[in-house]
Structure 1
């Protein structure tokens, strides 16, 4: 997969933005970046789109800015020259797709039926936009189309909200969702950029779904570990469960048979999407210890520790 599309996959959400006024470009980009989504698909439906892309690409060089609703090759050139890193179109126009492919420009054209997908495959694409998502059959339609086209991945846009976001992202053939609920025309028109930042942050938090899974306590040996687990069992009725390296008391307390990471022990935080969580936390300056990564039989990462302790506890993320 193209590197830009890989980055979009890690972000999980692509804000789809309609800008009427160029002066809104910088405060909008700032709100999205601070909200945790340094990404925007600026639709070419307004006269301000091209210059807005140019301003954002210049002032926020690390932001992934693309052009949407691109209908001609001339618009492709204008968008790319302004700094767009990817192109999105509402439908599949073979001429535009071929033009972008030949120039090495990532493009996700809109597809809503098997014929569109077969054209996309013929043109060498690995990812298409499913549009308009909800009106075209939603997640059930994507699942039906994904069955015969097992290598094709989708980026649904149109009718995606905070209410149905997770149901889409849970399907592994979907790399990300495009949405405008955090950047609605009304919010931008009213200059409510603090609100945009807040809604964006809420969207990221909901997507990642962090929750405390268990607390790990370091014991010196198995005898001490069993003694500690027994205390929790006697106090609260937490059933002990013996493991190879630890003893659980209920689901929330893990006692290590020998000291492990962390001065006192560890804290396990579960997340909906581990790799996305790593990407978003790294963008906030958090570092991870790659040597602690664990993988399942399908070579999918299931756990990893942060490099730094918190209050004497190591912290690791778990895939739900």
Structure 2
């Protein structure tokens, strides 16, 4: 392993606001992103992840930070050092990646931002742990063993906590959050594409409110 930059940033769980939810925002324009974020905030959500899957994603991060200063705004789908640096420059307050490689981990560490690297296997978890990381994104959760896999991983990686993403819904949210090695649940179930396309912001707020109620019963972020 190469010489690493010092891990000075706080862990992700220490900065996440509100209930233990990390809904994904995928927007075509900054205005759309702000509307989605406002709908989520109106439903009680305190933290969001803007994914780098559209051309305006970085501008969306900046726009949400400006319009909703009380909301914690991170960037997801970080795949390279260039992505990590661009997200920080756009104002992202944390980073999330769907995968882990040594170069990507080192790049995210170097930003000084809290982050959760993506893992799906014990080997990837062990690699992140070698870098001093104890909070990771478990993705895709439903295709990688889901709740039973997280239960099995707890016995081996006792100091590691997870943000499961992929296949989370209102129906299984409580089951995931009840796990002691889960610190937050992420996903797009609170921002379905059909509701975004038709600008049904009230319905998104209702989904967020229901999920927030479930999350608050089980665990609340710092």
The TM-score with structure 2 as length reference comes to 0.90
Structure 1 residue 102: Cα displacement: 2.8
Q: Is the 8 A contact 2:12 2:116 kept in 1?
A: no
Label 1:26 to 1:9 Cα distance change in 2 as closer, same or farther (>3 A): closer
Q: Is the 8 A contact 1:9 1:176 kept in 2?
A: no
Map of 1:163 onto structure 2: 171
Q: Is the 8 A contact 1:146 1:173 kept in 2?
A: yes
Q: After the TM superposition, which residues 75-224 of structure 1 pair with which residues of structure 2 at under 5 Å, given as runs? A: 75-208=83-216
Structure 1 residue 78: Cα displacement: 1.1
Write the distance in 1 (CA, Å) between the matches of 2:49 and 2:171.
Answer: 21
Task: Find the residue that maps to 2:117 and give its secondary structure.
Answer: strand
| 1:229-282 deviation line (CA, Å, top 9, x unaligned) | xxxxxxxxxxxxxxxxxxxxxxxxxxxxxxxxxxxxxxxxxx444xx29x7xxx
Task: Find the residue that maps to 2:204 and give its secondary structure.
Answer: helix
* Structure 1, gaps ≥5 residues long: 209-270, 280-320
Q: Which moves more between the two structures, 125-134 or 180-189?
A: 180-189
Map of 2:3 onto structure 1: none
Q: Does 1:8 align with 2:16?
A: yes
Higher Cα radius of gyration: 1
Task: Find the residue that maps to 1:15 and give its secondary structure.
Answer: strand
Q: Is the 8 A contact 1:92 1:110 kept in 2?
A: yes
Map of 2:5 onto structure 1: none
**Would you say how many aligned residue pairs link Structure 1 and Structure 2?**
214
Task: Find the residue that maps to 2:156 and give its secondary structure.
Answer: coil
Task: Find the residue that maps to 1:147 and give its secondary structure.
Answer: helix
Q: After the TM superposition, which residues 232-243 of structure 1 pair with which residues of structure 2 at under 5 Å, given as runs? A: none
Write the distance in 1 (CA, Å) between the matches of 2:50 and 2:32.
Answer: 12
Map of 1:49 onto structure 2: 57
Map of 1:21 onto structure 2: 29
Structure 1 residue 5: Cα displacement: 2.1
Q: Is the 8 A contact 2:176 2:185 kept in 1?
A: yes
Pairwise CA RMSD: 1.7
Structure 1 residue 48: Cα displacement: 1.3
Q: Which runs of 4+ in 1 moved over 4 A?
A: none
Write the distance in 2 (CA, Å) between the matches of 1:36 and 1:9.
Answer: 10
Structure 1 residue 17: Cα displacement: 1.6
* Structure 2, gaps ≥5 residues long: 1-8
Q: Which moves more between the two structures, 14-23 or 167-176?
A: 14-23
Q: Is the 8 A contact 1:31 1:193 kept in 2?
A: yes
Q: Does 1:38 align with 2:46?
A: yes
The TM-score with structure 1 as length reference comes to 0.64
